[in-house]
Amino acid sequence: MSRQTIEEYLETIKTLEEMEGSPVRTSSLARVLTVSPASVSEMLQRLSEKGMVRYTPYSGVSLTEKGLQQVLKLTRRHRLWEVFLNRHLGIGWEEVYDEACNLEHNTSGMVAEKLANYLGNPAVCPHGSPIPDENLRLPEKSGTPIANLETGKKAKITRITNEINSELLHYLTGLGIVPGAEIEVIEKASFDGTITIKAGESIKAVSAEVASFIEVEPAN
Amino acid sequence: MSRQTIEEYLETIKTLEEMEGSPVRTSSLARVLTVSPASVSEMLQRLSEKGMVRYTPYSGVSLTEKGLQQVLKLTRRHRLWEVFLNRHLGIGWEEVYDEACNLEHNTSGMVAEKLANYLGNPAVCPHGSPIPDENLRLPEKSGTPIANLETGKKAKITRITNEINSELLHYLTGLGIVPGAEIEVIEKASFDGTITIKAGESIKAVSAEVASFIEVEPAN
DNA sequence: AAAAATAATAAGGAAAACCTAACAATATAA
DNA sequence: TTATATTGTTAGGTTTTCCTTATTATTTTT
């Protein structure tokens, strides 16, 4: 198994653990990686032999500590590059994900740490996601999905949890829903979860699905 | 043939064309790439089918215009990253080559041009080698090997043409022989080509082989 | 021109990363 | 609780891209 392939599998497992819970099903991985379930089964056995994952046939797969450390290392590099691309090269936060994906797998530890230092050891990426520190530790989770915010409450957007879908991010940018923006929940439709949000002077509604990607911290 | 493999072959062919002349022999490529001559033959046929090289069996291989453009594109990305790593991250000019190799293959055109702009469109890398411009054009060659410099003449070091050998570069740094340094040739031994150089206050001798990597521009 | 050195090719193989089809296990619904 | 549907695994095969070894062709040297 090539390093690239290993890294792709591990990162996808981590993402799915967060999205759908652990353990992750073979079929989910097959869907996301667009390969056959049979291929996934095969790969998971090999990753298991390498001690990167815990794999129980017919049940699912989860990262071991070793696998998790590997993913955190990549996440750190990925998000550091995102900060650089956005802040210094002026590439939009909607676009930096893909570019950072290309760079993260080819960054040495030395370059990663010098880069972190150059950037002033940022705590979050342009989407508001936390950057693991030098020891790969993450802070306690602080934000909450916007659906949890009471109507009429003001809050600050801290994070958009879907970094991959650049169309979504462009759409949110158009609505003024970007990390750091001050917003207020005007209305939450109980029927379908649509949420009406005031951002700046404009008032816009977003679907429950889109809202699920928006994390906020209530203003005090 | 994977993109990575193609790029490695093309870059090696270019380097060997400069070092040993064109066309490049199969055996030279096999030696540098540490693969069998049989594999090289096989690969050269495929590169030839793709129109990247001109390959004449038993004679050798040279880059086509298409192959050359490809190499220049990579060279541009490579040297831009070297400038960034050296100037902004503080990685020594002796070390930047390897790191830039990793990054160059995973850099999009967009990132390359934004990076160039960020760096102020530098003309040369930390070793003094020219960076192809946005249209992949290179300036006329201006420097000359130090062996061509007359004894007693002052000159400025413009380039070290061996960027790969970091031990050599560390050695030269210790002697004060770095791009930009003002030097003077004290003596050229006619027997073995050893050259005695004054750099700053110190006077040191270098072998003909090491000297062959040092390019200068005479002071006016 | 023959011998020696070098280069190219052919034959065969290994490993990675997929696949399909058949079978097995588990979950769900009647 | 049995039948049905869903999901997962195994077995065996394919493709790609490299490899080595042995053989054949060409060039160079004597």
Q: Which of B122, B139, B156 is the last residue of a domain?
A: B139
CB A70 within 8 A of CB A10: yes
Does residue A150 fall inside a structural domain? yes
Does residue B152 fall inside a structural domain? yes
Contact B118/A at CB under 8 A: yes
Tell me, what's the pLDDT at B41? Answer: 87
Partner residue opposite B89 with nearest CB, options A85, A102, A114: A114
User: Chain A: residue nearest B119 by CA?
Assistant: A89
pLDDT tens-digit series, residues A131-148: 999 999 999 988 999 999
CB B71 within 8 A of CB B132: no
CA of A110 to nearest chain B CA: how many angstroms apart? 9
Does residue A188 fall inside a structural domain? yes
Q: What is the band of B19 on the pLDDT scale with cuts at 50, 70, 90? A: confident
Tell me, what's the pLDDT at B157? Answer: 97
Q: Per-residue pLDDT for B36 more than 90? A: no
CA of B205 to nearest chain A CA: how many angstroms apart? 34
Contact A119/B at CB under 8 A: no
Residue B45, both tokens: 């046929």
Residue type, A203: I
Does residue B70 fall inside a structural domain? no
Partner residue opposite B106 with nearest CB, options A89, A90, A102: A102
Tell me, what's the pLDDT at B33? Answer: 87
Among residues B111, B123, B213, B121, which one has the least CA distance to residue B161?
A: B213
Q: Which of B123, B139, B155 is the last residue of a domain?
A: B139
d(CA A209, CA A190): 14
Tell me, what's the pLDDT at B34? Answer: 85
d(CA A44, CA A1): 11
Q: Per-residue pLDDT for B66 more than 80? A: yes
**pLDDT > 70 in chain B, percent:** 100
Does residue B103 fall inside a structural domain? yes
Helix (H/G/I), strand (E/B), else coil: A69: helix
Report how far apart the first and last C-alpha atoms of chain A are (Å, whole number).
51
For chain A, what is the domain count? Answer: 3
Q: E strand or H helix at A186, and its extent?
A: strand A182-188
Does residue B35 fall inside a structural domain? yes
Are residues A113 and A156 located together in one domain of the fold? Answer: no
Contact A111/B at CB under 8 A: yes
Residues of chain B found within 8 Å of residue A88, distances taken between Cβ atoms: 118
Contact A2/B at CB under 8 A: no
A167: domain CATH number is 2.30.30.90
pLDDT tens-digit series, residues A52-86: 999 999 999 999 999 999 999 999 999 999 999 99
Does residue B79 fall inside a structural domain? yes
Residues 54-73 of A, Cβ under 7 A from nucleic strand D? 55, 57-58, 60
Does residue B69 fall inside a structural domain? no
Helix axis angle, B37-49 to B26-33, nearest 10°: 110
Tell me, what's the pLDDT at A177? Answer: 96
Mean pLDDT of chain A: 95
Q: Per-residue pLDDT for B49 more than 90? A: no
Partner residue opposite A111 with nearest CB, options B99, B105, B108: B99
Q: Which of B63, B93, B115 is the last residue of a domain?
A: B63
Please indicate whether residue B200 or residue A8 has the higher confidence score (pLDDT).
Answer: A8
Are residues B183 and B150 located together in one domain of the fold? Answer: yes
Residue type, A210: V
Helix axis angle, B65-87 to B109-118, nearest 10°: 50
Among residues A60, A58, A76, which one has the least CA distance to residue A13?
A: A60
CA of A103 to nearest chain B CA: how many angstroms apart? 6
Tell if A42 CB is < 7 Å from nucleic strand D.
Answer: yes
A131: domain CATH number is 1.10.10.10
Are residues B46 and B15 located together in one domain of the fold? Answer: yes
d(CA B29, CA B62): 12
Q: Which of A7-21, B11-25, B114-128 has the lowest mean pLDDT?
A: B11-25
Q: Per-residue pLDDT for B59 more than 90? A: no
Domain hosting residue A163, numbered range: 144-218
Q: Which nucleotides of strand D come closer than 7 angstroms to any CB of the protein?
A: 7-12, 16-22, 26-27
Are residues A157 and A198 located together in one domain of the fold? Answer: yes
CB B218 within 8 A of CB B155: yes
State the alpha helices, DSSP H only, in chain A. Answer: 3-20, 26-33, 37-49, 65-87, 96-104, 109-118, 166-175, 208-211
d(CA B89, CA B103): 14
Q: Which nucleotide is nearest to A9 (CA to C1')?
A: C17
Q: Per-residue pLDDT for B5 more than 80? A: yes
